[in-house]
């Protein structure tokens, strides 16, 4: 069987790695080994931060809800959540916060229903 040299495939692999590392500083965008290492670390951070983003968004919803509740004189966030669960309202924090931010009149109706 004849010998096959892997130049074309190696060059393609190197080109793809460097393309993904474009914008990194110094060696990390120029040299294959450093670029590969940077991409591995970046991938780990991206994975972790996707989960962190979910927590950040939940915190944002809670802050928005609390501000809207205090503005409408409906008490604090914690008492509101207890009342929502007791009333059996099936709206989650994301929906309630969106209503409070974008549709305050609808949010007031929800507050009235909860009582």
User: Does some domain include residue 2?
Assistant: no
Do 100 and 107 contact (CB within 8 A), yes or no?
Answer: yes
What CATH number corresponds to the domain at position 91?
1.10.1900.20
Residues of the chain with pLDDT under 70: none
**Strand residue runs (E) in 6-113:** none
- The pLDDT score that the predictor gives to residue 31 is 95
Q: What is the pLDDT of residues 70-90, one digit of tens each?
A: 998 888 899 999 999 998 888
Give the list of residues 6+ apart from residue 20 with CB closer than 8 angstroms, or none.
35, 39
pLDDT value, residue 38 = 97
- Is residue 4 in some structural domain? no
Domain range enclosing 76: 9-114
- Counting the structural domains of the chain, the total is 1
Predicted pLDDT of residue 55: 96
């Amino acid at each position: 069987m004849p010998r096959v040299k892997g130049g074309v495939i190696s060059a393609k692999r190197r080109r793809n790695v460097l393309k993904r590392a474009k914008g990194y500083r110094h060696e990390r965008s120029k040299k294959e080994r450093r670029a590969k290492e940077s991409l591995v670390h970046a991938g780990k951070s991206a994975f972790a931060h996707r989960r962190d983003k979910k927590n950040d968004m939940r915190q944002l919803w809670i802050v928005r809800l609390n501000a809207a509740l205090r503005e409408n004189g409906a008490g604090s966030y914690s008492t509101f959540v207890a009342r929502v669960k007791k009333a059996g309202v099936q709206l989650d924090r994301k929906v309630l916060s969106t209503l409070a931010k974008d549709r305050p009149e609808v949010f007031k109706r929800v507050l009235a229903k909860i009582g």
